[in-house]
Amino acid sequence: MSDNREFGFLLSEVARLLRDRFNDVAQQVGLTLAQARVLAHLERHQGIGQSALAQILEVQPITLLRQIDRLVDAGLVVRQPNPSDRRAQCLYLTEAAGPMLERVWAIGTSVSGDAFAGVEGSERAAVVAALERIRDNLSSRSGATEKRGT
């Protein structure tokens, strides 16, 4: 199979394996990958609304609602009224989320270490740089396509 034909399959398989490995380890601390992603994005976007967070995470709002409910019950997230829209709520991490996020980042580091086992530092840097360039290429083309379509 040519490199071009193999690339998509390989990338998809690696992404699935990374998710599976992360989930296996994260469950030991009582989290799922989906919940860890919510926490990680809330760390970057404190005060974001549920709809906007659902868009970032590319999940349906009802799916996110269930995840947030579990994180609220676990004392990791709080909902506060949105001052500019009484119908909406803003999401914030609690102090208890800090140690959990440290575990999330440690799990990510461990999983990345497993994934890159036997891969030299320069090769790692090249893989990351190439993936960033691919992401940027696709992001810029996606934006151009959306602009043409409107």
Domain range list for the chain: 3-115
Q: Give me the phi and psi of 94, to 5 degrees please.
A: -95, 170
Distance (Å, rounded) from C-alpha 78 to C-alpha 90?
A: 8
Residues written for the chain: 150
Fold exhibited by the domain 3-115: Arc Repressor Mutant, subunit A (1.10.10)
Tell me if 97 sits within 8 A of 78, measured CB to CB: no
pLDDT in tens, the chain (150 residues): 466 778 889 999 999 999 999 999 988 888 889 999 999 999 999 999 999 999 999 999 899 999 999 999 999 999 999 888 888 899 999 999 999 999 999 999 999 999 999 999 899 999 999 999 998 998 886 654 444 343
Angle, alpha carbons 30-109-67 (nearest 5°)? 35
Distance (Å, rounded) from C-alpha 8 to C-alpha 1?
A: 12
The predicted structure's pLDDT at residue 3: 67
- 43 burial type by CB count under 10 A (0-12 exposed, 13-18 middle, 19+ buried): middle
